[in-house]
Structure 1
């Protein structure tokens, strides 16, 4: 006999204004009382009534927000099997409400896990003090960085990185340099989306990493100042100031941050060359050290304007000026098959890299009725400009030849411009449904010019111009709905892409194609203990200008990086099935198939000799299977543990450099993050990550991990915060890997300045009143983050 379906008990009540009038469409959120994690969110109906179902026998609290009113936090209560009816909730207008009148029982948890999304709230983490955004990203659960600083999410590369909703069109060292120059002090949270809906750009087969920057919501004039100093082998300084002035109908804001960091990279290569033509079999050993000096200035100015009660206008300007000076020294020796020395050299490589960049945004949002559930229209126009000026001086001294030293100099200028215009419309439908539609046009232009001089003579064989143009026009529609115990979403995005590449004025390739990217998800509450969610999507990764650009960037006398003009886009199909137990423990099964996967390889350069090139290529297929386990625990009232494990299996197939590839390997990524409430208002965090050995194309990486420790304390009525942390305590983060081909093998080891102790101080000043909880204009920042922005 079939068992009857279990119904969940509910907490219910009404929302009223202070004068007693009922408030429709207020946002009512149910939180776990222990840590304020969101359990469920609903709108109040036309009569101000709400009903939220949840598990019985647990303690919860309710928060309520609405335009023009201060956010209300209720008392904690236990939900009994017969349900709980709360007394009428009365909201007070925001103008009369100060921060001291609102009692929040707990700060936002470090991690929030939802179907297809993990949110890392780094703003309150002591480990973020003095760190860069690249550091924060590399420590997020399931995220790893390879030797080229390409991020992977749960063992897969191919990610869309957005900062405040705006796409960052960079990869590898260019992306790393950008994120390294952006201090973690500016970051509010990092969101990891494995199967984003149709509102997001289809770019990013492995998902989306959304970096959300801080924004002060206090009324009046206020701000904060921060400074930190870290010491590893070298020093790392960060200092910043933010100011905000918010009145009833307008908000002005601005911030500035200065960063000065010195880092090192010690590299060791062991290369085995098979006999090729006139060259005999040989072994090459290279030992080098690179010292990197980074100085950056980042700033943002903007204003949010309430044109009417229903219309919001936002304007913002951002700028990032970074200068990186690197000095690399290396020693190389070659031996024949019998171990006898047959050659060698020493080299020094000096590079000066200047990266000024800036962006501008104009956005508009209009609600067609004065309620949170009304139809809304938002529009955004973005323009971004990235410049890179790179000068090179590579001096090589031969150990075994009578010839004198050689000198290669280079001057490279790259200009990247991105313009995007988008419009989004959302409309509530009957029966708790919602329709989202939108359109977007993105234009990318990149002009690159490099001139190499070999002993003062122009070298036309490696000097060239490269131009890249990309135009993507997209439209999407997404429908969300809910029925009894079931929610669903179905979307379709269409993107028309036109890509053109030129070298020295000659057309290399022109592509013009239309592709469709469906996505769908459904979530079903089975009973009081179990929930299932299924998501599926098709996504794409188009190679960007840096991956296509054939211009060279030399590491030393034996190695350089170059793009590959023959790269084509990779496409992937992604499916996830997630089970949630007791609204907190989750188990996720994932599968993805990627066609023409883009992977980074090292192999002998086409120039011949003993040069090695690092570049991206297309393989045939990548099959990926994963099991992800997530468990937020509370072993004691003062101790919260977030444990995450990703167990995955990758198989790559393809053909390159005379080598047929069919390699597979299981791997895992383990993360455990502990937060502690300590005596005398101190709090602490202890975090550890472990990445097992894994395979990526022709490369096999060895296991590595990192242990981090931090403490913090607030004082002076919580206006000041002192933070102390130590990163990579045991110095276990060095990267070791081996790439194997039929005629060439390279073993690689990279050690960096990752063991760093940091002290940081932050002081907040000004008004303590908080603006009403509502959707504000700045990008309609919420809308930008939802829709993927630029």
Structure 2
């Protein structure tokens, strides 16, 4: 609890010594940089922030036209503290003539346990997809199978507005492609999350947060973007918000219409034991048309100064229609032509998805640092309706036309209820605890019909139904303590899991029950204003997602299909990371993780033969991952800032599905650099570069690739409008080349997408410009309530 005489006092001045009036001064918790309260400086640049004695804090000062300045971390004594003056360096807005500056968060923020991407105002976000944003994020990779990795590791928990997306691989990538970047506010990359997060995700968490307007009154925006690569890409939408002191209603909608191509060349070598080797060459030319509708509506009600309730409904409905022209040539063991055929594969996929949330936030006292309670009830439904047509014409030797028609119906339901409670304890300790119950149900039905010689029959060998049920009951506790120079956080999460898989023929049934504990620990030690160390340890799990255990097929071309593996078991990881921070900006991190039974994708000849290949997930024995992470935010000039991130990692995999020797080991490097520019006349710019030397994950080896993207934006009409122009993948260097090698099978894969795109976008904002919470003095309970609500 704060005391009347306990406060942080200080002044804010510019580098010429003149006081800075009406600068925003914010008091942060030193352990996690969470804002506790904020004030404006007075006529002499002075400020006073009352706070609880004994707490460990940071103070930041910001003003339009200046760069944000941070104080060193400190412990507040009972008698109060007078800080050294905070000196603000002038930004481009005052260093250059005719430069218009908008006070905004930096594009990248590197915090103690995460990296935050503030993509809302990025010129490169215009007309892009959420998967595009992730593809440019520091340390993030996307492989040939659309699997997302972070610092050389796959197995991530992906959250959308705090809600788990129970999807992986292509299904997750398709959803992120359908979600326009225009709806995204921030993306957090969390490598060692605290116990309050689900333990799912051996490699960490990617948390995507959608936009929510904080301005008072009635306001909104409309936007439109058109991009052109080989095909056109159109995005449009709008948002409307009404906010008063005790009520807030909001809604937004985005429509996207994107046409794309995918060109894939595949070479395969088959060498069965005791038989002659065979090979095949494939060329696939696919054209797709994606249409999506994304919306979010909701309302918040302040029942009192300390209690808030809210409801939110959202949806993402998208339709993907594609046609793939395939040509396949096969060769015998003497490399003589064995067969040649052409195929047309059509897919018509409808995915109407909807989510619903009800939430409660309550603060138990009228002061900052008071106990808080939050509760959420969530429901989500993800439907998939896929119609597949596969027509095969045989050129050599000639044969009758082959027709295969598939009808897949899939319904995924996710329900969860959780409650979280936090309160301060004596001796500068804070307790956080909570419980959560989650239920996942997936119903799947696929029917394939074959037509030969004019007769159509159901193929019972590959038609089936599959139901998957998962229940996770969890509870956690966290103790945080902030000392004079040391911050400690210890957490323990317990999760009890029940899974059940059932197929119509009973051949793929399974049932599993297990209970596991997931401890986590982090220690932050500040030595002085230049050097700080942090140590994080955690244990996490990767439970197979429903589509990884679902044995039903999805055909890609005449010789390739994907299917789940009902024999998959969970993977568990042990993670340790040591990070050194210099001058509160530059960081160097060393990390190691050991994952038992890691889940990887394996492509192998199908038991049916005929050069048919199946791609499915399998468990290996062990994965070792070592990583060195370097982060450097630099101000290269008053108008030029740079954020650089490099990850050098080494992945070693041991033991295949039947044991055996190590499979792959290889060092790799990823680098991302983002330049932002404040230019004269209300212009700003962004130049982004990404490079990957090539990585190994399981059986797959990817070759080097990268991209360069550039964007400009111009503020118009007193900053009510923004015009953006960007070009992605300028040199077309993102095609994927990969290989997979086994004892009797090898595959080479080369994929090109429609990624070199020029986009022009326009946004117009209307209504009030006053931000909620910008009043000079806010009650402590109101600050805690806003923080608990994530506002």
TM-score with structure 2 setting the length? 0.88
Task: Give 1:12 deviation, angstroms.
Answer: 3.7
> Mapping of 1:40-439 within 5 angstroms?
62=61, 84=83, 106-275=103-272, 280-439=276-435
Q: How does 1:690-769 map to 2 (within 5 A)?
A: 690-769=691-770
Q: How far is the alpha carbon of 1:272 from its aligned partner?
A: 0.6
Q: Find the residue that maps to 2:144 and give its secondary structure.
A: coil
Q: How does 1:623-662 map to 2 (within 5 A)?
A: 623-656=624-657, 660-662=661-663
Whether the 8 Å CA contact 2:447–2:458 is kept in 1: the answer is: yes
Q: Deviations over 1:464-517 (max 9, x none)?
A: 000000000000000111111000100000000000000106371110110000
How many angstroms does 1:663 deviate by? 2.2
The CA deviation string for residues 127-154 of structure 1, in whole angstroms up to 9 with x for no partner, is 0000011111111110011112111011
> 1:205 & 1:585 partners in 2: Cα distance?
26
Tell me by how many angstroms 1:290 deviates.
Answer: 1.0
Q: Deviations over 1:519-544 (max 9, x none)?
A: 00000011231100000000000001
Asked if residue 608 in structure 1 is aligned to residue 609 in structure 2, the reply is yes
Q: 1:39 to 1:73 in 2, by over 3 A?
A: farther
How many residue pairs are counted as aligned between the two chains? 735
Q: CA deviation at 1:776?
A: 11
What is the CA-CA distance between 1:54 and the residue it aligns to? 9.9
Mapped partners of 1:613, 1:785: distance in 2: 44
Shift of 1:73: 12
| Cα 1:210/1:218, change in 2 over 3 Å | same
SS in 2 for 1:667: strand
Q: CA deviation at 1:300?
A: 1.2
8 Å CA contact retained: 1:378, 1:780: no
Given that 2:363 and 2:784 are in contact with CA atoms closer than 8 Å, whether structure 1 keeps it comes out as no
Give the aligned partner of residue 27 of structure 2: 29
Return the alpha-carbon distance in structure 1 between the equivalents of residues 66 and 288 of structure 2: 52
| SS state at 1:176 partner | helix
Could you list the per-position Cα deviations for residues 393-427 of structure 1 after superposition, in whole angstroms to 9, with x for gaps in the alignment? Answer: 00111122332110000101000001000000000
Q: Corresponding residue for 2:473?
A: 473
- Inter-partner Cα distance in structure 2 for 1:446 and 1:284: 36
1:498 paired residue number: 498
Structure 1 residues 79 and 191 mapped into 2: Cα distance closer, same or farther (>3 Å)?
closer
Partner of 2:77: none
Do the aligned residues in 2 keep the contact of 1:314 with 1:777 (CA within 8 Å)?
no
1:174 is paired with a residue of what secondary structure? helix
* CA offsets 1:285-335 (integer angstroms, 9 cap, x no match): 001111111001111111000011111000011111110001111111011
Q: CA separation in 2, counterparts of 1:416 and 1:761? A: 36
The question of whether the paired residues in 2 share the 8 Å contact of 1:304 and 1:314 is answered with yes
In the alignment, is the contact (CA less than 8 A) between 1:639 and 1:676 conserved in 2?
yes
Contact map agreement 2:223 2:761 (CA 8 A) in 1: yes
Offset at residue 769 of structure 1 (A): 1.9
User: In 1, distance between residues paired with 2:252 and 2:707?
Assistant: 32
- Give the Cα–Cα distance (whole angstroms) in 2 for the partners of residues 727 and 85 of structure 1: 45
Q: RMSD across aligned C-alpha pairs, in angstroms? A: 3.1
Question: Which residue of structure 2 lines up, in the alignment, with residue 93 of structure 1?
Answer: none
The reply to whether residue 565 of structure 1 matches residue 562 of structure 2 is: no
Closer/same/farther in 2, CA of residues 79 and 230 from structure 1, 3 Å limit: closer
Contact preservation (8 Å) 2:370, 2:784: no
How far residue 29 of structure 1 moved from its aligned partner, in angstroms, is: 3.1
C-alpha distance in 1, partners of 2:138/2:216? 35
Residues 267/78 of structure 1: CA separation in 2 closer, same or farther (3 Å cut)? closer
Kindly state the Cα deviation for residue 264 of structure 1 after the two structures are TM-superposed.
0.8
The answer to which of 745-754 and 280-289 deviates more is 280-289
Deviation of residue 657 (structure 1)? 7.8
**Residue 639 of structure 1: how far off its partner (Å):** 0.6
> How far apart in 2 are the matches of 1:331 and 1:649?
38
My pick for the range that moved more, 604-613 or 227-236, is 604-613
C-alpha change, 1:79 and 1:619, in structure 2 (3 Å) is closer
Distance 1:62-1:429 versus aligned 2 partners, 3 A rule: farther
Q: 1:463 to 1:76 in 2, by over 3 A?
A: closer
Number of the residue aligned with 1:515: 516
Matched, 1:543 2:544: yes
Matched position secondary structure for 2:176: helix
* 2:673–2:689 Cα contact (<8 Å) kept: yes
**Alignment check: 8 A CA contact 2:124 2:710 kept:** yes
- Helix, strand or coil at the partner of 2:182: helix
Structure 1 residues 255, 42: CA separation in 2 closer, same or farther (over 3 Å shift)? closer
CA distance in 2: counterparts of 1:687 and 1:237, whole angstroms: 22
Paired residue for 2:439, among 411, 425, 443? 443
Cα shift readout 1:620-678 (whole Å, capped 9, x = no counterpart): 00000000000101111111011110000000011248974432110010111111111
Q: What is the DSSP-based 3-state SS (H/G/I as helix, E as strand, rest coil) of the residue aligned with 2:317?
A: strand
Change (3 A) 1:732 1:393: same
Q: TM-score, with normalisation over the residues of structure 1?
A: 0.88
Question: Bigger shift: 451-460 or 71-80?
Answer: 71-80
> Which residue in 2 is equivalent to 1:686?
687
The question of whether the paired residues in 2 share the 8 Å contact of 1:43 and 1:50 is answered with no
Q: What pairs with 1:751-790 in structure 2 (closer than 5 Å)?
A: 751-772=752-773, 783=788
Describe the shift of the 1:79–1:331 C-alpha distance in structure 2 as closer, same or farther (beyond 3 A).
closer
**SS of residue in 2 equivalent to 1:13:** strand
CA distance in 2, matches of 1:605, 1:258: 40
2:521 and 2:558 map into 1 onto residues whose CA distance is: 51
Unaligned runs of 5+ in 1: 1-10, 16-25, 32-37, 64-70, 88-102
Q: Distance in 1 between matches of 2:28 and 2:265?
A: 54
Could you say what secondary structure the match of 1:434 adopts?
strand
CA contact (8 A) 1:226 1:762 kept: yes
Check 1:378–1:78 CA distance in 2 against 1; reply closer, same or farther (3 A cut). Answer: closer
